[in-house]
Chain A
Amino acid sequence: MTSSTPTSTIFLVLRRLRTPLIVLIIIFALSVLGLTLVPGPPDANGAIQRLSFFHAVYFFSYTATTIGFGEIPYAFSEQQRLWVTLSIYLSVIGWAYTLGTVFAMLQDKNFLNAVAVQRFARQVRRLREHFFLVCGYGETGRLICKALDELGYRAVVIEKDEAKVGDLELQSYSADMPALCADAGEPDTLLFAGLTSKYCRGVIALTNDDSTNLAVAIAARLLAPTLPALCRAEHADTVANMASFGTKHIINPFEKFGEYMALALHSPAAYHLLLWLTGLPGTTVTRHRDPPAGKWVLCGYGNFGKVMTQALENAALPVTIIDRAPPIDPSHTWIKGDGTGADALRAAGITDAVGIVAATANDVNNLSSVVTARELNPRLFTVLRQNHVSNRALFAAFESDFVMVPSEIVAHECLAILTTPLLAPFLDAVRRADDAWSQHLLDALTQRFGWDVPAVWSITVNIAQAPSIYRLLMRHEPLHLGQLLRTPVTDRPPLACSTLLLLREGDEPRLLPDAEQDIRLGDQLLLVGRESARKDLDLTLFNGHTLDFVLTGRDAPSGLIWEKLRSHT
């Protein structure tokens, strides 16, 4: 029963302790009462003494707790000793029962779970910085958490599998990441994890199970409508379902890769540009061979196979499908057979094909197909589907032209959406632009910044994100982009960054604005460049003196007295 609320834990404990406590009280009371009634030894006058309540409670307190000071205040009579013997055994039973109940409760799964939930909820409540709620800590979840950590964001993780939660605790993230082992599909769990917290910046549903992701999507839509929700979906009906109630970001790794493939076929430069801009921080993008035009062979007509066939056929390339199942779609050339065998590949015409797509859900079969195919035709362009990150070594050894790793694609997409919302409109523009334009831009950018994945960030000219510019613009002083993008050091060299996009309300988006572009309040800028440039620009945006220096090249006097002195001269 994971639905036990945190506050109920203490009540659960008290309720279970009722019987042992009452037993203990009764045993204690009986023993004390008996001790006051049993006749003791006669005193000096020969009268029978009896222990008073005070002494009886004292005696029994140290006897029952096994401290045992001896017979106080005087040596007992035989009757008293008889009674004490009986009550010692009684009290031992009472303690054993109570302690047994307590320990059994501490071992109890429900109780431990309730305590874990309570601790987790407290950790999340105490978070005082922005965080992302990540549901599902699988391969994708791990990539995302790592990237969020590198970007300086916190994450709160919900994962069903206990082993994976343990794995999270072993990772050395720079910030502490609260994690809970629970089903993310339950709204209560999401609430504990801070779905409605004002510090929550977004929900990312990445579990392997489409229905859980769907449950997270609808919970986010109803409980936190303004929060961006990113949901992974592998089946078309889940996608449709999520879209029906307005989930903004539905990520289908197969569709996404199909889009990449289509883009790579249509405009290789745009594809590389996209890859470079959306890469995981700290990685290097390698230049691919461009997919050739000609005859293609596809092994495995599943979810991914369908998307790839579509992408290739949209580019007007003929596709031959090899699948173990009999033809289900008569409009394609279909070979029934085993894609890992040379016979089926030959029958599909691998020798005069230009490319092969290995699209089954089995990594070993995919590798086997492309290895065989390359032996038959060494110049083949290969597209490989890698289902498990753990097979990375095998796929790296094969040097395929394209490797499609669902978890990485989802991670890329999530990060791009979450950290730089302006990137999406820019990438749309890239997809629409012609190849020459993309090629030119790609060459210019990679010559300047190299093939390492750059920092991509956006700024909004307002009081919260750029107070110094805000004040400058409020004084109606003009400001050009070129003036602003300078390093705050002697000689003011240009910052190592470029502006990709400028968004202004009520205006067309401006791609690649030049240095003469004026900046107004409310403008949104998308920048790409080195991490150091980002930090320098941040300083300029927040510090009025740095801004002064960047604009004029003079170090203006700072401090009350110096400013006064200057204003007089």
Chain B
Amino acid sequence: MNLEKVIFGFFIVFAATLNFGFFIGEIDNPSHHDIYELFAAIVVNLIATVLKFGDRTQIGAIHLATSLVADLQLLAAAMVWGYAVHVAGTGLSAGVMASIVSLSGGALFANVISVIILIAETIMQRR
């Protein structure tokens, strides 16, 4: 067992689960989507991205790409949230919530790909 691999797998799966936790629920109901869960998802995603830095293989490159996509989507969701509450002043209306959750849904898709690659990589391993 390799500690580095444990940490790597942990963060990738954790990013996906947090993302899923935030995503699940009625799409336009603010009480189903907790802001702290979004925050945690962003932080864990960022850490997962950094962990993927510096891998020269093809799989490493795809890993990094999916993570970057997830980061982008989640940050966009957070920005929409901040804009709606603080700048536009409309508050968390159903429409805003729906767009936040759908953005996080996109991120979830990227995270799922990341997890699939992780599983595929593990299965291909001969040892």
- Interface residue A287 (Cβ < 8 Å from any Cβ of B): no
Report the tally of A-B residue pairs with Cβ distances under 8 A. 47
In the bound assembly, the distance between CA atoms of A186 and B46 in angstroms comes to 41
Beta-carbon contact of A18 and B86 below 8 Å:
no
In the bound assembly, the distance between CA atoms of A25 and B48 in angstroms comes to 11
Given known contacts A53-B35, A54-B82, is B53 in contact with A25 (CB within 8 Å)? no
- Interface residue A240 (Cβ < 8 Å from any Cβ of B): no
- Interface residue B24 (Cβ < 8 Å from any Cβ of A): no
Q: How far is the CB of A227 from chain B (nearest CB, A)?
A: 32
- Interface residue A444 (Cβ < 8 Å from any Cβ of B): no
Beta-carbon contact of B53 and A15 below 8 Å:
yes
- Interface residue A236 (Cβ < 8 Å from any Cβ of B): no
- Interface residue A364 (Cβ < 8 Å from any Cβ of B): no
- Interface residue B59 (Cβ < 8 Å from any Cβ of A): no
Given known contacts A25-B46, A29-B43, A33-B39, is B54 in contact with A53 (CB within 8 Å)? no
Stretch at the interface among A6-14, A127-135, A394-402: A6-14
Given known contacts A8-B56, A29-B43, is B86 in contact with A52 (CB within 8 Å)? yes
Q: Indicate the size class of the contact surface on chain A.
A: 20 to 34
The answer, among B39, B47, B78, B82, for a CB contact under 8 Å with A26, is B47
In the bound assembly, the distance between CA atoms of A12 and B47 in angstroms comes to 18
- Residues of A near B69 (CB, < 8 A) are none
- Interface residue A521 (Cβ < 8 Å from any Cβ of B): no
The answer, among B36, B46, B56, for a CB contact under 8 Å with A11, is B56
The answer, among B35, B36, B50, B55, for a CB contact under 8 Å with A22, is B50
- Residues of B near A55 (CB, < 8 A) are 86
- Interface residue B94 (Cβ < 8 Å from any Cβ of A): no
- Residues of B near A53 (CB, < 8 A) are 35, 39, 78, 81-82
Beta-carbon contact of B39 and A12 below 8 Å:
no
Given known contacts A52-B85, A53-B82, is B47 in contact with A14 (CB within 8 Å)? no
Identify the closest chain A residue to B86 (Cβ): A54
Beta-carbon contact of A25 and B47 below 8 Å:
yes
The answer, among A14, A25, A33, A54, for a CB contact under 8 Å with B54, is A14
- Residues of A near B50 (CB, < 8 A) are 17-18, 21-22, 25
- Residues of A near B54 (CB, < 8 A) are 11-16, 18
- Residues of B near A16 (CB, < 8 A) are 54
> Using a CB-CB cutoff of 8 Å, which residues 150-195 of chain A contact chain B?
none
The answer, among A8, A15, A18, A25, for a CB contact under 8 Å with B43, is A25
Beta-carbon contact of A54 and B53 below 8 Å:
no
In the bound assembly, the distance between CA atoms of A100 and B109 in angstroms comes to 37
Q: How far is the CB of A19 from chain B (nearest CB, A)?
A: 9
Identify the closest chain A residue to B39 (Cβ): A53
Q: How far is the CB of B72 from chain A (nearest CB, A)?
A: 16
Beta-carbon contact of B56 and A22 below 8 Å:
no
Q: How far is the CB of B46 from chain A (nearest CB, A)?
A: 5
- Residues of B near A15 (CB, < 8 A) are 53-54
B interface residues, how many (CB within 8 angstroms): 17
The answer, among A7, A8, A18, A32, for a CB contact under 8 Å with B53, is A18
> Using a CB-CB cutoff of 8 Å, which residues 185-229 of chain A contact chain B?
none
Q: How would residues 50 to 71 of chain A score, 1 for a CB under 8 Å from any chain B CB and 0 otherwise?
A: 0011110000000000000000
- Interface residue B118 (Cβ < 8 Å from any Cβ of A): no
Beta-carbon contact of A17 and B53 below 8 Å:
yes
> Using a CB-CB cutoff of 8 Å, which residues 15-43 of chain A contact chain B?
15-18, 21-22, 25-26, 29, 32-33
Q: How far is the CB of B37 from chain A (nearest CB, A)?
A: 12
- Residues of B near A25 (CB, < 8 A) are 43, 46-47, 50
Identify the closest chain B residue to A15 (Cβ): B54
In the bound assembly, the distance between CA atoms of A55 and B85 in angstroms comes to 11
Beta-carbon contact of A22 and B43 below 8 Å:
no
In the bound assembly, the distance between CA atoms of A16 and B50 in angstroms comes to 11
Given known contacts A14-B53, A14-B54, is B39 in contact with A22 (CB within 8 Å)? no
In the bound assembly, the distance between CA atoms of A53 and B40 in angstroms comes to 12
Q: How far is the CB of B54 from chain A (nearest CB, A)?
A: 3
In the bound assembly, the distance between CA atoms of A15 and B4 in angstroms comes to 13
In the bound assembly, the distance between CA atoms of A25 and B35 in angstroms comes to 18
In the bound assembly, the distance between CA atoms of A29 and B45 in angstroms comes to 12
- Residues of A near B35 (CB, < 8 A) are 53
Q: How far is the CB of B71 from chain A (nearest CB, A)?
A: 11
In the bound assembly, the distance between CA atoms of A15 and B85 in angstroms comes to 38
- Residues of A near B53 (CB, < 8 A) are 14-15, 17-18, 21
- Residues of B near A33 (CB, < 8 A) are 36, 39
Identify the closest chain B residue to A13 (Cβ): B54
Given known contacts A8-B56, A53-B35, A53-B39, is B78 in contact with A22 (CB within 8 Å)? no
- Interface residue B51 (Cβ < 8 Å from any Cβ of A): yes
> Using a CB-CB cutoff of 8 Å, which residues 69-127 of chain B contact chain A?
78, 81-82, 85-86
In the bound assembly, the distance between CA atoms of A7 and B57 in angstroms comes to 13
- Residues of B near A17 (CB, < 8 A) are 50, 53
Beta-carbon contact of B51 and A18 below 8 Å:
yes
In the bound assembly, the distance between CA atoms of A507 and B36 in angstroms comes to 91
Question: Which of A17, A33, A52, A54 has its CB near the most chain B CB atoms (within 10 A)?
Answer: A54
In the bound assembly, the distance between CA atoms of A25 and B82 in angstroms comes to 20
* 9 A-B pairs closest in CB distance: A15-B54, A14-B54, A14-B53, A54-B82, A29-B43, A21-B50, A11-B54, A54-B86, A25-B46
Q: Residues of B at under 8 Å CB distance from A?
A: 35-36, 39, 43, 46-47, 50-51, 53-56, 78, 81-82, 85-86
CB-defined A-B contacts under 8 Å, sample of 29: A7-B56, A8-B56, A11-B56, A12-B54, A13-B54, A14-B53, A15-B53, A16-B54, A18-B51, A21-B50, A21-B53, A22-B47, A25-B43, A25-B50, A26-B43, A26-B47, A29-B39, A29-B43, A33-B36, A33-B39, A52-B82, A52-B85, A52-B86, A53-B35, A53-B39, A53-B78, A54-B81, A54-B85, A55-B86
- Kindly list 19 other residue pairs between chains A and B, CB separation below 8 angstroms, not including A52-B86, A54-B82: A8-B56, A11-B54, A11-B55, A12-B54, A14-B53, A14-B54, A15-B54, A17-B50, A18-B50, A18-B51, A18-B53, A21-B53, A25-B43, A26-B47, A29-B43, A53-B39, A53-B81, A54-B86, A55-B86
